[in-house]
Amino acid sequence: MGFVCSVFKMVSVLFLGVLALDCFTEFGSSAQLLPESEVRTLRTVFSKMQHPNAGTVSRALCSDSSWNFTIATVVESGIVCNCSDGNNTICHVTQILIKGHNLTGILPPELGNLTHLEVMSLLGNRLSGPIPGEIGDIPTLEGLVLEDNMLGGSLPSNLGNLGRLSRLLLSANNFTGRIPESFGNLKNLTDFRIDGSSLSGKIPDFIGNWTTLTRLDMQGTSMEGPIPSTISELKNLTNLRITDLSGRSSAFPNLNGMKDMKELVLRNCLLTGSIPSYIGEMTSLKTLDLSFNRLSGQIPQTLQGLKKIDYLFLTNNSLTGPVPGWVLGSDNNIDLSYNNFTSSSQTSCQQARVNLVSSSSSSADSNSVSWCLRKDLPCPRKPTHHSLFINCGGEHMDINGNEFEEDLSTIGPSNFFSSANKWAYSSTGVYLGNDGAHYTARASSAVPGPAFYNSARLAPQSLKYYGLCLLRGNYNVTLHFAEIMYSDKETFESLGRRLFDVSIQGKVVLEDFNIMEEAGGVGKGIFKEFNVDVNGSTLEIHLYWRGKGTTAIPDRGVYGPLISAITVTPNFKVDTGKGLSAGLIAGIVIGSCVILILLLIILRLLGYLGGKHDENSELHGLELQTGYFSLRQIKAYVQQEQGNLLELVDPSLGSEYSKEEALRLLNLALVCTNPSPTLRPSMSSVVSMIEGKAPVQAPLIKRRDSDQDARFKAFEMLSHDSQTNVSTFSHDSQAPRSTSMDGTLN
Ligand SMILES: *[C@@H]1O[C@H](CO)[C@@H](O)[C@H](O)[C@H]1NC(C)=O
Ligand SMILES: *[C@@H]1O[C@H](CO)[C@@H](O)[C@H](O)[C@H]1NC(C)=O
Ligand SMILES: *[C@@H]1O[C@H](CO)[C@@H](O)[C@H](O)[C@H]1NC(C)=O
Ligand SMILES: *[C@@H]1O[C@H](CO)[C@@H](O)[C@H](O)[C@H]1NC(C)=O
Ligand SMILES: *[C@@H]1O[C@H](CO)[C@@H](O)[C@H](O)[C@H]1NC(C)=O
Ligand SMILES: *[C@@H]1O[C@H](CO)[C@@H](O)[C@H](O)[C@H]1NC(C)=O
Ligand SMILES: *[C@@H]1O[C@H](CO)[C@@H](O)[C@H](O)[C@H]1NC(C)=O
Ligand SMILES: *[C@@H]1O[C@H](CO)[C@@H](O)[C@H](O)[C@H]1NC(C)=O
Ligand SMILES: *[C@@H]1O[C@H](CO)[C@@H](O)[C@H](O)[C@H]1NC(C)=O
Ligand SMILES: *[C@@H]1O[C@H](CO)[C@@H](O)[C@H](O)[C@H]1NC(C)=O
Ligand SMILES: *[C@@H]1O[C@H](CO)[C@@H](O)[C@H](O)[C@H]1NC(C)=O
Ligand SMILES: *[C@@H]1O[C@H](CO)[C@@H](O)[C@H](O)[C@H]1NC(C)=O
């Protein structure tokens, strides 16, 4: 019996062993399968999304590695399962990632059957239609990312059932209606984004329920302010971005207690009153953007304590008082343009990296303030220009006899550039999610039509072009655009949508303008023509982003205004003002120079231009030399129409003088001899030019074909020279750091 028992035991053990082995083989890792019903659901879901591989979904999906790949940061596919159900035999899909796939279908209601789903990201597709309420039936859902699609309709109130939902990212779609009341139940939310949608209504009070929130993005919606006071409950916020609110104005919301704030953007939110001083206690702050509000009062001293700050944008408010010294001395990107500061006359247009354009209040002594700090950039002399051609973001070029000015500065963020009192631009903001993004663009393949379509200037926020010193009158303003940042080549690159607005002279002329849509595709030029009155002397073309469209395709930071070229032509007859006699010219030349010499002597006596006893002064020679060239050589210049200006310097000086000083004085002397009395500088500006406080400005005279007169040719040549020299040498407003840094002017 014992033996039989032993044999039986052995056989039993073996049998059990084999059984166990069998089980392991059959239900082991290679046999972890999805339930048949889940396969059916997934096939339906993927085929309604128009996924080309919907048909390949099988029970073995969880081990089918062809669904796992990454082509670029926004072209990605991934399926993740949890196979611990049913003693490690049954799998369920827990994550679906299909990013940048050009899926053109809809979000089907069958998604609600995926009751184990935890994360779904469909970023960067072309899915349209509404979000099905059935998604609210997925109790396990923690992350839902639907950014950069074409979804629309209202947000289903069922989503309020998703108690575990932590990330709800819906930016860059076209949702309408209000945020449902039920969203107040989403108490596990850490990240909520609805940028660039048409959602309307008041920002709801219940956002105060989202106490676990760390990031809240509401840029460019159609929602109304004010920001509810309940926001003060969101103490864990590190990134808060609310922009472009309509409705009534309000004071700054209470953000006291949000000690870990890193990015605070409340742009164009109709905020009034002063900037709270507790902002200075947010010591982790890297970006503070309170631009385009109605904030008044002074910049709080406490902001000085923000040691980590990279970007400080207070553009377009009503801030007053002096610009604090710590701001002027800062190395960071600071934009204080368009405010009401009291600027001292020492403040130049570009100090450190602080943009102060158009920032000073029009006080009585405003004449002593640099022109670029004053509102509307008034012409510092008599306006003379009557046409303007700019190749935005591109080089100088001649098209049909029109000389397009080069516009090559690559500096960003927040930059002011001006070119010889003829035109200027001011760009504000920094690209969201990519501070290395570019501020000019070049087409990867040639755009048909005029060559200027192959380059463009871009800005993250606001881009203003100014036509300066224009004659009063009516003009045709033509704006040229071509979408050159997106391409048709790659699936995901064709998904981007760029929308921005354009105002001319403060009047909105293009709203939600979409270049690609208007031109009928990528890499196609389109122009818009406008009839504009210039009543002062400044033409202002303002392009600005109101948070609409995509921001992450083909890369993070591709959005905002883009422009290829600007042409401005007069709708009136231009008086070319020719016909000065040779005698008159000679009189002007001699007269001007006599005055200049007298002035130099006076200045010398007063101790400017180096001390009396300073025999080795580099200016010593200049004094002699001015007397020398005044009559004979200037006449020779006439202005034989040739010669390098420096040839006018007394050769006996050798190289013992400052070329910069010499050129400044020579330029000045020549400017004083302008045939048009109105174009000669006033005595007070001559003084500041000699002192180097103001740049020497030679007017550009555009020769008409009929003006063959030699003196005009000479002047034109001179003005070109002096423009170059002045930009390179001056330390004041006319020396845009851009030109001296990017080397375009040597
Ligand atoms: C989804 O589930 C419902 C019932 O819960 C069922 O009737 C329906 O057939 C399922 N759909 C799919 C595609 O599996
Ligand atoms: C895809 O990759 C994830 C890890 O990133 C892995 O867990 C999963 O099993 C893979 N899925 C397939 C189908 O290979
Ligand atoms: C898988 O699901 C089981 C229960 O369904 C759960 O206990 C487990 O934590 C899950 N595993 C993972 C990695 O999520
Ligand atoms: C898991 O295994 C236990 C015992 O081994 C068994 O009782 C149970 O029914 C199994 N569950 C499933 C879903 O197969
Ligand atoms: C938040 O999520 C956790 C698990 O992630 C869950 O236990 C909790 O119930 C959720 N809160 C709500 C309000 O559903
Ligand atoms: C957004 O939705 C509205 C209303 O449904 C529609 O009129 C508009 O054309 C849509 N815009 C886009 C860009 O799809
Ligand atoms: C959410 O907030 C609203 C208004 O602040 C409040 O009335 C409501 O009770 C809150 N909801 C929950 C579920 O706590
Ligand atoms: C806020 O953050 C802290 C630290 O991460 C955490 O301990 C706390 O639970 C958070 N509070 C809420 C309401 O989520
Ligand atoms: C200032 O912002 C307002 C909107 O708040 C806008 O209408 C105006 O054009 C802006 N001004 C400048 C100079 O940007
Ligand atoms: C700021 O300047 C503008 C224009 O000069 C003026 O209309 C406005 O009243 C000023 N605001 C304050 C607060 O000084
Ligand atoms: C200005 O625009 C108008 C209307 O588009 C056009 O009729 C006119 O010819 C244009 N004038 C010039 C000088 O280009
Ligand atoms: C992406 O989808 C659009 C719309 O269906 C289609 O026109 C385009 O050819 C697709 N692009 C690629 C590369 O598949």
Nearest ligand to the C-alpha of residue 162? 5
Atom of ligand 4 nearest to the CA of 89: 14
- Compute the distance from residue 319 Cα to the ligand 10 centre, in Å: 9
CB-defined site of ligand 4, < 6 Å = 86-87
Say which residue the tokens 């916020």 belong to: 237
Structure tokens given for 617: 């002064």
Nearest ligand to the C-alpha of residue 493? 12
- CB 106: neighbour CB atoms within 10 A? 16
Q: Which residue has the higher pLDDT, 83 or 709?
A: 83
Atom of ligand 8 nearest to the CA of 235: 1
- Compute the distance from residue 300 Cα to the ligand 5 centre, in Å: 41
Nearest ligand to the C-alpha of residue 75? 12
Q: What is the pLDDT of residues 562-605, one digit of tens each?
A: 999 999 999 999 876 544 444 444 444 445 555 555 555 555 55
Tell me the CA distances in angstroms from 244 to 227, 250, 270, 318, one per residue in order. Answer: 12, 14, 8, 18
Check pocket membership of 65 for ligand 2, CB cut-off 6 A: yes
Q: What is the pLDDT of residues 430-484, one digit of tens each?
A: 887 787 888 999 998 899 999 999 999 999 999 999 999 999 999 999 999 999 9
- Compute the distance from residue 227 Cα to the ligand 1 centre, in Å: 42
Within 195-316, strands assigned E span 215-218, 239-243, 250-251, 263-267, 271-273, 287-289, 294-297, 311-313
pLDDT at residue number 36: 96
Best residue for ligand 1 mutational test, from 40, 41, 117, 135 (most atoms within 8 Å of Cβ): 41
Q: What is the pLDDT of residues 202-232, one digit of tens each?
A: 999 999 999 999 999 999 999 999 999 999 9
Give backbone dihedrals phi and psi of 706, rounded to 5 degrees, phi first. Answer: -75, -20
Closest C-alpha to ligand 5, atom 8: 164
Atom of ligand 4 nearest to the CA of 90: 13
Mean pLDDT, residues 276-286 taken together: 96
Q: What is the pLDDT of residues 349-385, one digit of tens each?
A: 665 568 888 888 755 455 667 778 888 888 888 999 9
Closest C-alpha to ligand 1, atom 3: 113
- Compute the distance from residue 79 Cα to the ligand 2 centre, in Å: 6
Check pocket membership of 204 for ligand 7, CB cut-off 6 A: no
Residue type, 135: I
Q: Which candidate, 134, 126, 193, places its Cα nearest to that of 493?
A: 126
Closest C-alpha to ligand 4, atom 13: 86
Atom of ligand 3 nearest to the CA of 85: 5
Percent of the chain with pLDDT over 90: 54
Check pocket membership of 152 for ligand 6, CB cut-off 6 A: yes
Mean pLDDT, rounded, of the chain: 79
- Compute the distance from residue 64 Cα to the ligand 2 centre, in Å: 8
Mean pLDDT, residues 261-286 taken together: 97
- CB 620: neighbour CB atoms within 10 A? 17
Nearest ligand to the C-alpha of residue 124? 12
Best residue for ligand 3 mutational test, from 80, 81, 82 (most atoms within 8 Å of Cβ): 82
Residue 389, strand partner residues: 567
Give the span between the Cα atoms of 405 and 525, in whole angstroms. 19
Is a pLDDT exceeding 90 seen at residue 422? yes
Q: Which candidate, 566, 339, 611, places its Cα nearest to that of 465?
A: 566
Q: What is the pLDDT of residues 301-310, one digit of tens each?
A: 999 999 889 9
| Contact between 554 and 392 (Cβ < 8 Å) | no
- Compute the distance from residue 212 Cα to the ligand 8 centre, in Å: 7
CB-defined site of ligand 11, < 6 Å = 476, 529, 531, 569, 571
| Contact between 646 and 662 (Cβ < 8 Å) | yes
